[in-house]
Amino acid sequence: MPKADLHPTWYPDAKVICNGEVVMTTGSTSPELHVDVWSGNHPFYTGTQKILDTEGRVDRFMRKYGMGSASGDAKAEAKKEPKAEAAAAEA
């Protein structure tokens, strides 16, 4: 049994409101929760998240660690071909 006047009032059916619509109910110490973002409109959960390549950082990382970028594969093949031609010319 909780002590009287010590704990806040518990609302088992508190309404979560986003953009003027009730999106869900949950337990809370407040009867209404007003939120800007929730799982129903967040890009991570809706699958519309985009990764921004700021200043080419992703490409620079891929080149640095040799991780299968299309431009890195073309460069690797270009380096291999002259050696193969030189070996054929010597034989």
Strand partners, 14: 26
- Threshold 0.95, pTM exceeds: no
Structural domains for the chain: 1-49 (4.10.80.400), 51-91 (no CATH)
What's the CA gap between 71 and 73, in Å, rounded? 6
> Is the Cβ–Cβ distance between 35 and 16 less than 8 Å?
yes
Per-residue pLDDT of the chain (91 residues; tens, 9 = 90+): 667 888 889 999 999 998 888 999 999 999 999 998 888 888 777 777 776 767 778 788 888 888 875 554 555 555 555 555 555 555 5
